[in-house]
Amino acid sequence: MLSYIIQLVFPLLPDTRLFRLKAFLLRLRGFHIGHNVRVVSSVKIKLKMLSVGDNTFIGHDTLIAGGDALVEIGRDVDIAPRCVLLTGSHEIGSSDHRAGAGNSQSIKIGDGTWIGGSTTILGGVQIGRGCVIGAGSLVRSDIDDDCLAAGVPARVIRELP
């Protein structure tokens, strides 16, 4: 019940103010939220397990959703607006109902990573530390540390210093 009330109150708060109050509310929901985490009020979080490291920013209209899998966002991460982190999916079912049994896989974003706007990250993905993911990308496989990746599907463009 408390989680439901928090989900109702959260979007009513000013978008880019009261970050400490928002972090407190997210902690009340049972999430691990580090120090100086800034989550914009329009962010929607629809899952059970979330960990966000210190000094991380999660931008406007971002959706973090799925099932029972953990979404782990490192410290000093910047997630631009309108990103989607989606842990849940389905097996391919019969022709009568193609969305078969549901499943959920975790997502991990390494420290210092920058996720460009309107990027989608699917379950089972690990993005290394110090990466840049170009805007509009679809990340469906792992990205090593210190890489610039972009595209649909995302691929490594180059290594970063």
**64: CATH:** 2.160.10.10
Residue pointed to by tokens 């966002």: 73
CA gap 9, 21 in Å, rounded: 11
Task: Name the residue range of residue 10's domain.
Answer: 2-159
Please count the structural domains in the chain.
1
Q: Which residues are annotated as catalytic?
A: 90
Report phi then psi at 56, rounded to 5. Answer: -100, 145
Question: For 30-39, 73-82, 91-100, which range has the lowest pLDDT when averaged over its residues?
Answer: 91-100
Q: What is the pLDDT of residues 85-130, one digit of tens each?
A: 999 999 999 999 999 999 999 999 999 999 999 999 999 999 999 9
Distance, first Cα to last Cα, the chain:
47
CA-to-CA distance for 124 and 114, rounded, in angstroms? 19
